């Protein structure tokens, strides 16, 4: 049994594919999971709650309050109870509401309160799936960090042939087993993540900085922790916070402070992901009091900062895995390949600033991961959170090999 003891909320929405939910519940229970089924009112037109409650061995919930006693079905508790929420089938209607944050039934209220990963398996007719609003909505929920089990191609209920049928229950269960397996794949490993910008002081009130927000690094730290690793983040100045029992954070300001913190942690680190946008230079002199305006031009002399990544790459021992980042505007791949070699990285994540929606400040990013022996894996524009899982997945494949 691959899902022994797993706590799963399965939400069924109004789609003809709801008949497959019965089989899905059976398979999940057979794999050892505890399944609580929620239905939207529209789902009742396609399958009865009795079927799903019999198969799941749990009451099926649809309304906020059930029976004459006015007993409340607490969606917050459900959202906290679940280790994963699967919405299968996901109708175009519920998809649209998820994007807008509409909360007019128990499924949507639970979705909004769920802290666990959410897996969606859309099902709709060919033209509905291809409609620009549906495509846009699917993109939006992926950006929110939901996980998509792609609909399959075949004959649809309408008789049309094409993409739109819900993934087969076996496929969804396989996806889930792989998903949980990944959650533990880094247990027992320690990871170090650098994130955010560094600020190099000019005087007590001014600094040299950059536009990095730290979102990518924090998302990677979260994905590493979700995969079971003990993670230490060395973070430059950001507004971000990360609450996770396996994540600790050292907050630093300058490149030299970041260097010192990394030096301290690296010897006991197995996986280092260096996503910080470290300032290459700092002012030679840091004025003790505010520099007063004088003359038309002033000169600021800069000196090189330590290259944290290159130094860690140099110190790397067998059993340690180092992932660097590259932000390039020209000759992207060639430059990234060069950095991979000179800094002794095992993988390098290449950000392209040319793509709309990618890079500093955005919630989305578009990257290519490159490695030794001409390894290249290109990812489409995605939410940084989802991309973080893809990057960690790539790391896991390499660490394991």
First to last CA, the chain: 26
Instruction: State the Cα–Cα distance between residues 197 and 201, nearest whole angstrom.
Output: 13
Work out whether 255 is an interface residue with ligand CTP (CB under 6 A).
yes
Nearest distance from C-beta of residue 305 to ligand CTP, angstroms: 5
Q: What is the DSSP string of 276-324?
A: -B--SEEES---SSPPPP-SS-----EEEPP-HHHHHHHH--TT-EEEE
C-beta closer to ligand CTP: residue 47 or 309: 309
Instruction: State the Cα–Cα distance between residues 388 and 325, nearest whole angstrom.
Output: 13
Q: Which residues pair with 37 in a beta bridge?
A: 10
Work out whether 352 is an interface residue with ligand CTP (CB under 6 A).
no
Work out whether 326 is an interface residue with ligand CTP (CB under 6 A).
yes
Given a contact cutoff of 8 angstroms between Cβ atoms, the answer to whether 116 and 85 are in contact is: yes
Given a contact cutoff of 8 angstroms between Cβ atoms, the answer to whether 367 and 391 are in contact is: yes
Work out whether 325 is an interface residue with ligand CTP (CB under 6 A).
yes
Work out whether 257 is an interface residue with ligand CTP (CB under 6 A).
no
Nearest distance from C-beta of residue 325 to ligand CTP, angstroms: 4
Nearest distance from C-beta of residue 230 to ligand CTP, angstroms: 21
C-beta closer to ligand CTP: residue 276 or 367: 276
Look up 331 and say whether it is catalytic: no
Nearest distance from C-beta of residue 360 to ligand CTP, angstroms: 12
- Contacts with ligand CTP in 283-322 (CB under 6 A)? 305, 307-309
Instruction: State the Cα–Cα distance between residues 26 and 18, nearest whole angstrom.
Output: 13
Q: Draw the binding track, 162-201, toward ligand CTP (x: CB under 6 A; -: no contact).
A: --------------------------------x-------
Nearest distance from C-beta of residue 397 to ligand CTP, angstroms: 20
Q: Kindly give, in sequence order, each residue whose CB lies less than 8 Å from that of residue 191, ignoring residues fewer than 6 positions away.
A: 221, 224, 229, 230, 231, 232, 269, 270, 271, 272, 273
Among residues 276, 367, 388, 396, which is the contact residue for ligand CTP, using CB under 6 A?
Answer: 276
Among residues 327, 362, 363, 398, which is the contact residue for ligand CTP, using CB under 6 A?
Answer: 327
Given a contact cutoff of 8 angstroms between Cβ atoms, the answer to whether 48 and 25 are in contact is: no
The site for ligand CTP, by CB under 6 A, has a size of 15
- Say how many C-beta atoms besides its own lie within 10 A of residue 309's C-beta: 25
Among residues 55, 138, 216, 274, which is the contact residue for ligand CTP, using CB under 6 A?
Answer: 274
Per-residue CA distances from 391 to 158, 289, 362, 372 (Å) = 39, 44, 17, 16
Respond yes or no on whether the N-terminal peptide bond of residue 370 is cis (omega within 30° of 0). no
Which one of 71-79, 142-150, 221-229, 274-282 is the stretch in contact with ligand CTP (CB under 6 A)?
Answer: 274-282
C-beta closer to ligand CTP: residue 120 or 273: 273
C-beta closer to ligand CTP: residue 123 or 277: 277
Nearest distance from C-beta of residue 236 to ligand CTP, angstroms: 10
Given a contact cutoff of 8 angstroms between Cβ atoms, the answer to whether 254 and 278 are in contact is: no
Phi-psi region of 225 (alpha: psi -120 to 50; beta: other; left: phi over 0): alpha
Work out whether 368 is an interface residue with ligand CTP (CB under 6 A).
no
Catalytic residue, from 210, 211, 297, 365: name it.
Answer: 210
Nearest distance from C-beta of residue 369 to ligand CTP, angstroms: 13
Among residues 36, 246, 265, 339, which is the contact residue for ligand CTP, using CB under 6 A?
Answer: 339
Work out whether 45 is an interface residue with ligand CTP (CB under 6 A).
no
Instruction: State the Cα–Cα distance between residues 9 and 183, nearest whole angstrom.
Output: 18
Q: Where are the alpha helices (DSSP H) in 31-168?
A: 49-56, 75-81, 92-100, 106-113, 126-130, 132-143
Handedness of CA 162, 164, 170, 174 (dihedral sign): positive
Return residues touching ligand CTP (CB under 6 A): 194, 255, 274, 276, 278, 280, 305, 307-309, 324-327, 339
Catalytic residues: 210
């Amino acid at each position: 049994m691959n899902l022994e003891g797993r706590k799963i909320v399965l939400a069924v929405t109004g789609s003809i594919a709801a008949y497959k939910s019965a089989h899905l519940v059976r398979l999940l229970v057979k794999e050892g999971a505890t399944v609580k089924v929620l239905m939207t009112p529209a789902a009742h037109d396609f399958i009865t709650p009795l079927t799903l409650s019999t198969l799941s061995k749990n009451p099926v919930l649809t309304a906020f309050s059930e029976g004459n006693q006015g007993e409340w079905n607490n969606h917050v508790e459900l959202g906290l109870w679940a280790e994963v929420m699967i919405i299968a089938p996901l109708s175009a209607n519920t998809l649209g509401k998820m994007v807008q944050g509409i909360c007019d039934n128990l499924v949507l209220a639970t979705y909004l309160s769920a802290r666990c990963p959410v897996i969606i398996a859309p099902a709709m007719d060919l033209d509905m799936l291809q409609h620009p609003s549906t495509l846009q909505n699917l993109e939006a929920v992926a950006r929110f960090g939901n996980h998509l089990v792609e609909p399959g191609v075949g004959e649809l209920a309408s008789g049309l042939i094409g993409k739109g049928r819900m993934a087969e229950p076996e496929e969804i269960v396989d996806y889930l087993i792989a998903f949980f397996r990944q959650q533990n794949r880094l247990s027992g490993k320690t990871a170090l993540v650098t994130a955010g910008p560094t600020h190099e002081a000019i005087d007590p009130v001014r600094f040299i900085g950059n536009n990095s927000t730290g979102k990518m690094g924090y998302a990677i730290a979260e994905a590493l922790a979700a995969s079971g690793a003990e993670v230490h983040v060395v973070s430059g100045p950001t507004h971000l916070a990360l609450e996770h029992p396996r994540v600790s954070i050292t907050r630093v300001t300058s490149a030299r402070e970041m260097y010192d913190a990394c030096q301290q942690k690296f010897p006991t680190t197995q996986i280092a992901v260096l996503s910080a946008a470290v300032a290459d230079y700092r002012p030679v002199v840091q004025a003790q009091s505010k520099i007063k305006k004088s003359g038309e031009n002033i000169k600021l002399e800069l000196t090189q900062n330590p290259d944290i990544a290159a130094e860690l790459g140099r110190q790397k021992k067998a059993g340690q895995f180092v992932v660097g980042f590259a932000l390039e505007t020209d000759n992207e791949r060639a430059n990234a390949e060069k950095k991979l070699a000179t800094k002794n990285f095992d993988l390098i994540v290449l950000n392209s600033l040319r793509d709309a929606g990618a890079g500093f400040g955005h919630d989305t990013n578009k990257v290519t991961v490159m490695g030794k022996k001409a390894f290249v894996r290109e990812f489409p524009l995605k939410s940084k959170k989802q991309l973080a899982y893809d990057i960690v997945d790539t790391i896991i494949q390499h660490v394991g090999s």
